[in-house]
């Protein structure tokens, strides 16, 4: 499952009011979802550029069409080592979910999804990034929704906001290839308490390789040494996904990663 170092929200006040391209009255807040999805793609490949800065590049280089419309290969005109692979259009047919699963399995690929924002008649274009799809659950990085207080943009289950008809609501896959940048590890000692007994620890920031369970009771403060971003896990107490994973070395000599979603307590300077 791919990890985006940044999940950009188009309504973030840091850039939401900025004019998108050269069209007066059009703002990143209102119509900047595709721009934010491309900024997330750039960040995943080692270019941590904000949406407003990418917007300036697109504008000054004349890459927008008709003032502020984006082409699917636009990001490749800025970064030579980010390759535009293909666009798969499903505006008049069901989306190929088997292909979506294949795209999800290749970690060198980043896929931007054009979706119908509303189930109402007509198409309301919106763009999100594919986080992972296993034929049962589609996780996306969405520039519009703010599912955590004070945070703009969110990682969410597609069905939460767009329903279960994936083949009908997804209208296009825009596929890029590049070399994903390593996700940083933040060293910051802190403590957190388990939300449940039998708290699981893993070899890395995902559920791929289980190592052991700690039997610390809920409410018991456990020390952690560092944190990073990894597989999004549903925080049942909040009803939203959390990408943070915490590392600890316990007194019995075991060490490993556990999901932030399973404990109460925030690593310093972190957000889901």
Domains of the chain: 28-177 (3.90.70.10), 186-264 (2.30.30)
pLDDT at 113: 98
The arithmetic mean of pLDDT across residues 116-128, rounded, is 92
Residue 160's CB: how many other CB atoms inside 10 A?
Answer: 16
HSE-up of 47 (CA within 13 Å, CB side)?
A: 19
Contact 43, 110 (CB under 8 A): no
The arithmetic mean of pLDDT across residues 78-87, rounded, is 97
Confidence of residue 17 (pLDDT cuts 50, 70, 90): very high
Question: Which residue shows structure tokens 């502020």?
Answer: 68
Q: Tell me the two tokens of residue 138.
A: 């589609």
Instruction: Find the distance separating the first CA and the last CA of the chain, reported in whole Å.
Output: 16
The arithmetic mean of pLDDT across residues 179-207, rounded, is 90
pLDDT in tens, 170-192: 999 999 999 999 888 898 899 99
| Phi/psi-derived region of residue 46, left when phi > 0, alpha when psi is between -120 and 50, beta in every other case | left
pLDDT in tens, 22-67: 999 999 999 999 999 999 999 999 998 999 999 999 999 999 999 9
Sign of the torsion angle spanned by Cα atoms 15, 21, 24, 29? negative
């Amino acid at each position: 499952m791919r990890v985006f170092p940044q999940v950009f929200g188009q309504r973030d006040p840091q850039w939401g009011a900025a004019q998108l391209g050269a069209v007066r009255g059009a703002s990143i807040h209102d119509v900047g979802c595709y721009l934010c999805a491309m900024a997330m793609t750039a960040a995943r490949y080692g270019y941590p550029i904000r949406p407003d800065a990418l917007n300036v590049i697109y504008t000054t280089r004349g890459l927008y069409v008709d003032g502020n419309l984006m082409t699917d290969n636009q990001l490749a005109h800025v970064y030579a080592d980010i390759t535009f692979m293909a666009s798969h259009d499903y505006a008049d047919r069901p989306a190929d979910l088997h292909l979506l699963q294949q795209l999800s399995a290749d970690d060198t690929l980043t896929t931007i999804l054009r979706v119908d924002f509303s189930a109402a008649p007509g198409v309301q274009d919106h763009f999100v990034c594919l986080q992972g799809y296993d034929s049962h659950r589609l996780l996306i990085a969405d520039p519009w929704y703010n599912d955590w207080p004070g945070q703009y943009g969110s990682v969410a289950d597609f069905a939460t906001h767009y329903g279960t008809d994936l083949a009908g609501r997804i209208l296009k896959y825009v596929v890029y290839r590049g070399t994903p940048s390593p996700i940083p590890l933040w060293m910051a000692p802190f403590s957190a308490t388990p939300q449940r007994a039998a708290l699981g620890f893993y070899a890395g920031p995902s559920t791929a390789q289980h190592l052991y369970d700690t039997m610390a009771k809920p409410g018991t403060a456990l020390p952690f040494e560092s944190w990073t971003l990894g597989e999004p896990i549903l925080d049942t107490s909040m009803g939203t996904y959390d990408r943070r994973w915490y590392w600890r070395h316990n007194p019995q000599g075991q060490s490993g990663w556990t999901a932030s979603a399973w404990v109460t307590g925030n690593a310093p300077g972190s957000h889901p």
